[in-house]
Amino acid sequence: MLYLLDANVLITAHTLYYPVDSVPEFWSWLAHHGSAGSLKIPVENFEEVKDGGTDEEKDLLFGWISDEGIRDAIVLDAQSDPAMVADVISRGYAPDLTEDELLTLGRDPFLIAHALASPKDRCVVTTEVSKPMPETESAYSRRLQFTRRSMVRHLQDD
């Protein structure tokens, strides 16, 4: 199973639970599992985290994620499929979104599209709660086979 991280997992972990400077073991653990290929973050979501900071001394998460070794370890080496991203937006959100509405979606459609590229082998890890439209909820839930078990528990079993 490949666990695909949403940007909010890293942001929330650093901000609320495991600051990079206080719990470096957590961040080493992420890098280790990234190198092992059991967890990755799509480049679009990686850039979302990186776009949040600009100063390595003030923003320790920015400093950690700016390290080339970390990037190599955790970034998914795959391009998103533009047709799949468009399908995710159209069927998972709305088929007629305005430019402003597309901007508010952020990069979640890319994360979902990467998961849909191999739904039996990939699991999205996020801190967000899904609120899909009623007519799309069952189709996407079945296709993605999301799990609510914690990423930590799964990876510790390895």
Instruction: Give 91-121 pLDDT, tens digit per residue.
Output: 877 778 787 877 777 788 899 999 999 989 9
Instruction: Give 18-49 pLDDT, tens digit per residue.
Output: 999 999 999 999 999 999 999 999 999 999 88
List CB contacts of 8: < 8 A, sequence separation 6 or more. Answer: 126, 127, 128
CA distance 98 to 89: 12
Q: Are residues 43 and 98 in the same domain?
A: no
Structural domain that includes position 55: 2-77+150-156
Report the pLDDT value the prediction gives residue 57, as an integer from 0 to 100.
55
Q: pTM of the entire structure?
A: 0.77
| Percent with pLDDT over 90 in the chain | 51
Q: Are residues 67 and 90 in the same domain?
A: no
